[in-house]
Amino acid sequence: MRIGLVCPYDLSKPGGVQAQVLGLGGALRSFGDEVSVIGPGLPEGVDGVDLGSSVAIPGNGSMMPISLDPRVRRAIQRAGPDLDLLHVHEPLMPTVSLSALRAGPPVVATFHAAPEAFAKRFYSFVGPYLARILGENVRSITAVSETAAGAVRNHMDVVIVPNGLDVAAMSTDLERKPRRVAFLGRDEPRKGLDLLLEAWGDVSHSW
């Protein structure tokens, strides 16, 4: 099968959605599928469509590196006829994901983010029109968690498909040491590293 994986976030920058898209692409290729990764900042050596640069805008407690270039729509539409399926991540994100919904092929739409207050209000307002916004190409809607599905579940059927993890790639030969804690995540407020560091004095003194 010829599959296009659409990522609205800059693939050259670290992020959970970007990691999932690139990891899923590798897994699907190992199964024999033809995969094209479509998004801004396509890394060198990855087959797909590079949609150019991105700009960082605030959202959901972070800075989101997305493309706001209207020309990406034409680039995605050119790729569409060569594909059997588009897997569009964060389908309501401009400009990349919204453009991909109407590029032609059938679409699987996946929601990742835990919606913040503004997003919840937005979904409650557009809920009755959500199916129309997503468009007739969408055949299946998935979310990576119950939380990510929460904002749209009242308006349409959502299947929970958790993020995949390449356990072998994450393995390490490091010796386990008592009282050592590893933090895995970006150093930004919503990830909670500041809370860990603030509490560390109390935790270490309790041992």
In 3-state terms the chain splits into helix, strand, coil percentages (rounded to 5) of 35, 20, 40
| Chunked mean pLDDT (size 10), the chain, 207 residues | 98 94 95 97 96 90 90 94 96 95 96 80 79 94 93 88 86 79 80 87 76
Burial of 122 (0-12, 13-18, 19+ CB in 10 A): middle
What is residue 192's predicted lDDT score, i.e. its pLDDT? 86
Chain centre to alpha carbon of residue 31 = 21
Burial of 72 (0-12, 13-18, 19+ CB in 10 A): buried
What is residue 76's predicted lDDT score, i.e. its pLDDT? 96
Which 3 state secondary structure label does DSSP give 79?
A: helix
Which 3 state secondary structure label does DSSP give 48?
A: strand
Q: Cα angle vertex 134, ends 128, 139, to 5°?
A: 110
What's the whole-model pTM score? 0.87
The residue behind tokens 């400009």 is 95
Nearest to 72 by CA among 88, 57, 58, 84: 88
What is residue 25's predicted lDDT score, i.e. its pLDDT? 96
Two structure tokens written together for 119: 């997003």
One-letter amino acid for residue 64 of the chain = M
Instruction: Please report, for residues 102, 110, 156, 187, 196, the alpha-carbon distance to residue 5 in angstroms, rounded to integers and kept in the order given.
Output: 14, 11, 22, 27, 35
- The domain defined by 2-166 carries CATH number 3.40.50.720: no
- Domain coordinates in residue numbering, the chain: 2-166, 168-205
Distance CA 16, CA 9 (A): 10
What is residue 30's predicted lDDT score, i.e. its pLDDT? 94
Rounded to 10 deg, the angle between the 117-126 and 146-153 helix axes is 40
